[in-house]
């Protein structure tokens, strides 16, 4: 069963990552928020450290490349790479969400590769920095509406289409592109391909200016007659209409808890600073006294912490289930829905509680409020997550409940 405290085996990792977030990310957070699209060179050293830890085994599988379910038959309780990744991402986003998303070789595409790639593909793409390209100009959250095509031609697939809102789209060296093999076969024909940036026909059209996570580049990328080796199709190339979209959506079962962890980490940063600022203003939070008997700001803070705790536990539950080979589609969407909403509510409420200080650039509270909003949108919006949860709870298909 899942326990309510940080697993003992991961505590050293959590402490190390927290120190990195506090001493390396937080000090340059404002710098790269103001210098949008400037590459954070400080991340190169962090990436080198992460690579060293990974090679030595000291990272315990943390990071995007560690998100993969075990194939062994051991039924004992596990706190493995999914839990380590969620905990480390949480701490990194306590430091800075945009910089976390900009970490080399830790893109969402890396999580997609780790989730569905074969062992041979894992070895082939080891060390790559992969962004993930799903959204198109014609749709947002409905991934089944993909129009980018992949036509088989000999020993390659030819990709044509346009993707928008590609996180790390300019800086990454490869892209996990979602495309359809045959539009007439619907969702079942949607597959993901690893496309390297040096392939002819790949073009970064522009970078977006954004409300938050400005340290992370977000690109529009077009694919024009891009020939991709057949072995770059992730997972099974066969179209299984019985399986439908389940194979492709399995990626999200692992990546959505990571996005939830990002929201939980950003919200935790806001709560920690708000508690300190309230204390400086003479408002103390008393956990042994009823909220109704305390200052209104203290009562509000206690409510925000309760919401945060629920999001935190849901996130850890989804990660724990993945580590223990339990189907977690429902829990992944629950964690993403809860944490996404809580992240926005907490960060904006902290701005309000701290009044002028919260709204100004004197502190990072206003930045965290801007950063957190995207975490309720990408990897499936709040509304989409609630729809998925409703389908799972009611036992209805996507055609029965739209």
pLDDT band for position 62 (50/70/90)? very low
User: How many Cα atoms occupy the beta-carbon half-sphere of 94 within 13 Å?
Assistant: 22
Residue 242 CB contacts under 8 Å (≥ 6 apart), including other chains: none
Final residue belonging to a domain, choices 62, 89, 124: 124
Q: What is the mean pLDDT of residues 152-158?
A: 97
Q: Checking DSSP bridges between strand 190-196 and strand 218-229, what pairing results, if any? A: unpaired
CA dist., res. 159 & res. 14, Å (int): 41
SS3 22: helix
Reduce the DSSP state of residue 103 to 3 states and report it.
coil
What are 299-312's pLDDT values in tens digits? Answer: 999 999 999 999 99
Residues 93 and 139 grouped into a single domain: no
Residue 251 is predicted with a pLDDT of 77
As a whole number of angstroms, the distance between CA 20 and CA 48 comes to 13
Report in angstroms the alpha-carbon separations of 287 from 98, 131, 282: 33, 43, 16
What does residue 75 show for φ and ψ, rounded to 5 degrees? Answer: -100, 5
Query: Does this model's pTM top 0.85?
Result: yes
For the residues 230-237, what does the mean pLDDT come to? Answer: 92
- pLDDT, residue 72, reads 55
Q: How many domains does the chain have?
A: 3
* Domain harbouring 318, CATH code: 1.20.140.10
Domain harbouring 44, CATH code = 1.10.540
Q: How distant, in Å, are the alpha carbons of 86, 196, 214, 282, 358 from that of 166?
A: 22, 14, 13, 45, 30
The answer to whether residue 304 is domain-embedded is yes
Set 42, 366, 379, 400: catalytic member: 379
- For residue 119, CA distances in Å to 115, 126, 216, 329 come to 11, 11, 30, 23
Rounded to whole angstroms, how far apart are CA atoms 267 and 119? 36
Let me know if 352 is a catalytic residue.
no
- Give the pLDDT band (50/70/90) at residue 139: confident
pLDDT in tens, 283-300: 999 999 999 999 999 999
Where residue 244 falls among pLDDT bands split at 50, 70, 90? Answer: low
Mean pLDDT along residues 311-330:
93
Identify the bridge partners of residue 202 per DSSP, sorted by sequence position.
223
Q: How many CB atoms lie within 10 A of CB 30?
A: 14
Domain range enclosing 327: 246-394
Residue in 350, 165, 358 with CA at minimum distance from that of residue 266 = 350
Q: So what's the pLDDT on residue 73?
A: 58
pLDDT by residue (tens digit) across 364-385?
Answer: 999 999 999 999 999 889 999 9
């Amino acid at each position: 069963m899942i326990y309510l405290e940080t697993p003992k085996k991961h505590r050293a990792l959590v402490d190390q990552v927290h120190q990195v977030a506090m001493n390396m990310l937080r000090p340059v957070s404002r710098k790269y928020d103001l210098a949008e699209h400037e590459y954070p060179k400080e991340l190169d050293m962090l990436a080198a450290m992460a690579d060293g830890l990974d090679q030595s085994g000291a990272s315990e599988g943390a990071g995007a490349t560690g998100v993969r379910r075990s194939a062994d038959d051991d039924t004992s309780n596990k706190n493995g790479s999914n839990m380590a990744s969620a905990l480390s991402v949480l701490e990194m986003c306590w430091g800075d969400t945009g910089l976390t998303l900009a970490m080399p070789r830790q893109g969402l595409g890396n999580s997609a590769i780790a989730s569905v790639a074969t062992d041979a593909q894992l070895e082939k793409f080891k060390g790559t920095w992969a962004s993930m390209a799903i959204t198109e100009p014609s749709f947002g959250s409905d991934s089944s509406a993909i129009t980018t095509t992949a036509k088989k031609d000999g020993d390659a697939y030819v990709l044509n289409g346009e993707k928008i809102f590609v996180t790390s789209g300019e800086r990454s060296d490869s892209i996990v592109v979602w495309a359809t093999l045959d539009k007439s076969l619907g969702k079942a024909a949607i597959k993901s391909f690893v496309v390297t940036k040096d392939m002819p026909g790949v073009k970064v059209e522009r970078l977006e200016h954004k409300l938050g996570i400005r340290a992370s580049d977000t690109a529009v990328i077009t694919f024009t007659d891009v020939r991709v080796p057949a072995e770059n199709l992730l997972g099974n190339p066969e179209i299984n209409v019985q399986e439908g979209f389940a194979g492709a959506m399995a990626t999200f079962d692992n990546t959505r808890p990571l996005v939830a962890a990002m929201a939980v980490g950003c919200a935790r940063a806001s709560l920690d600073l708000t508690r300190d600022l309230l204390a400086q203003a003479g408002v103390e939070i008393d956990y042994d006294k009823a909220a109704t008997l305390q200052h209104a700001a203290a009562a509000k803070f206690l409510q925000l912490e309760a919401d945060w705790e629920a999001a935190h536990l849901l996130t850890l539950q989804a990660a724990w289930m993945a580590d223990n080979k339990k189907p977690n589609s429902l829990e992944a969407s629950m964690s993403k829905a809860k944490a996404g909403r809580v992240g926005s509510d907490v960060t904006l409420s902290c701005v309000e509680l701290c009044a002028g200080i919260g709204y100004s650039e004197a502190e990072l509270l206003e930045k965290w409020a801007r950063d957190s909003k995207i975490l309720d949108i990408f990897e499936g919006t709040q509304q989409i997550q609630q729809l998925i949860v409703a389908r799972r709870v009611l036992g209805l298909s996507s055609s029965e409940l739209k």
